[in-house]
Structure 1
Amino acid sequence: MLEKKEYLTLKENGAHELVIKKSRFICTMKRTESVEQAQEFIAEVNKKYRDATHNTFAYTIGLNNDQVKASDNGEPSGTAGIPELKALQLMNLKNVTAVVTRYFGGIKLGAGGLIRAYSNSVTQAAEAIGVVRCVLQQDISFNIAYNRIDEVHHYLETNNIFVANQEYATEVTITVSLDLNSIDKFEEDLTDLLAGKVQFNHQEKHFNEIPVKGFNFHEQ
């Protein structure tokens, strides 16, 4: 399977409440990277809202939706957990668990109303919490002489390259974080800039989180 180079997930854990025809829908969401973490989170929310009418949930684990599960927790079949899961998948969120707690307000919503309520609860909670794009990057370090700092910094700033670390000794050691598809060009540019007098040390790959602006929560 190809290595996934980026994915979307929640900015942070959080919760959001809707009131629909006197019923309270509280969507609590958390970033979870394993089924065990998802199950622990679901148990925590169940305990917190043990007096609720329903504690429904959905989760998607893995960057390729390797593990997914949904529960209606007593609501009519297909009206809660599945709409929540579909909402997560439509937003293309990964490694997220959503628990939607309902306190019944005395007015029945019908199957269609429940589906919309549970789906919107997840979508609006994600919108309130925020989304980040996790991009797979690699740290590249290199040494330069002190008299080359200004021109190297100018190149890095002009190309919006993130400097992860900078150390000063007999030479300056700069570490940058780069998207995988931009490494070759970066190394070619620096080699030209420094007339071949540079060596690159490839360090670990890791996901960096970039806030997503203008994210359409309804049309992913």
Structure 2
Amino acid sequence: MIESYPIAAEEQEYEEEIKHSRFISLVFPCHSPEEFKQQLQQIKQRYPGASHYCQAFICGAPMGQSAMGSSDDGEPGGSAGRPMLAVLQGAGIGEIGAVVVRYYGGTKLGVGGLVRAYSSGLKQMLPRLATKTKMLREKGSLVCRYDQLADVEHLLQRLDVLIEGREFSELIRLTLAVPLSVTGSINKELAPMSQGQLKIDFSQ
């Protein structure tokens, strides 16, 4: 199971001319199909009147069952969107969108030429694209006493566990987001602090 993966952390743009056609490749962080649509509309406003706005996006892990998609936007089937998506997947970067804007210059490229043209800018940008690591996490909850809280928080911080909520009554209930890399071991680390009483519940 994937515990973490790189995601896009910046926008980049690359422009080239291929056989008199102008190709403008753009990549950007993308967390949902809806966000991708918004970015696409902004790009169309920035570059109006283009012949094609070919697209690809991955809204989760690069090789997972993520929301992903592509469009040839009027180019011959399979000549633009799918090759672009393949380049994104090959780079191993998730949560990323790509649009290639083409202003047609009068010379047909053929399907093979289009595949190369729509992939070219992405291949130039992706190796130097700034990324950050997304840690996959599992939700859990932990109940502790007030006198245990400081030690518990110290352990959670050391293991990069996010505390997303606190409920205070006779005891304290913490709502947690635990990295998948420590879900199997964290309760063993909590046990010595409480003679085995402290335990994160992952069943919620």
Same fold (TM over 0.5): yes
Counterpart position of 1:25: 24
Residues 74-153 of structure 1 correspond to what in structure 2 (within 5 A)?
A: 74=75, 78-94=78-94, 96-103=96-103, 114-123=114-123, 124=125, 127-128=128-129, 130-146=131-147, 148-153=148-153
Counterpart position of 2:198: 198
Rate the CA distance shift 1:37–1:189 in 2: closer, same or farther, 3 A.
Answer: closer
Larger mean Cα displacement after TM superposition, 167-176 or 94-103: 167-176
Shift of 1:55: 1.7
Give the root-mean-square deviation of aligned CA atoms: 4.3
Q: Tell me the distance in 1 between the aligned counterparts of 2:56 and 2:43.
A: 13
Deviations 1:25-67 (A, max 9, x none): 1325452544x76566545544543322432223456742576
Q: Tell me the distance in 1 between the aligned counterparts of 2:13 and 2:201.
A: 45
Question: Which letter maps to 1:101?
Answer: V
1:10, 1:93 within 8 Å by CA — same for their partners in 2?
A: yes
Alignment partner for residue 16 of structure 1, among 13, 18, 22? Answer: 13
Q: Tell me the distance in 2 between the aligned counterparts of 1:168 and 1:50.
A: 55
Instruction: Determine which structure has the larger strand proportion and give its number.
Output: 1
Q: Tell me the distance in 2 between the aligned counterparts of 1:66 and 1:162.
A: 25
Q: Tell me the distance in 2 between the aligned counterparts of 1:37 and 1:110.
A: 32
Counterpart position of 1:58: 56
Task: Give the TM-score normalised by structure 2.
Answer: 0.65
SS in 2 for 1:18: strand
Rate the CA distance shift 1:181–1:112 in 2: closer, same or farther, 3 A.
Answer: same
SS in 2 for 1:195: coil
Question: Which letter maps to 1:10?
Answer: A
Deviations 1:63-97 (A, max 9, x none): 425764330634x6654333212112212445654
Task: Give the TM-score normalised by structure 1.
Answer: 0.61
SS in 1 for 2:178: strand
Question: Which letter maps to 1:27?
Answer: L
Q: Tell me the distance in 2 between the aligned counterparts of 1:140 and 1:48.
A: 46
Uncovered stretches (5+) of structure 1, i.e. residues with no partner: 205-220
Uncovered stretches (5+) of structure 2, i.e. residues with no partner: none
Q: Tell me the distance in 1 between the aligned counterparts of 2:52 and 2:152.
A: 59
SS in 2 for 1:155: helix
Deviations 1:136-177 (A, max 9, x none): 32232221232x344434433444444444566655544442
Percent of pairs with identical residues: 21
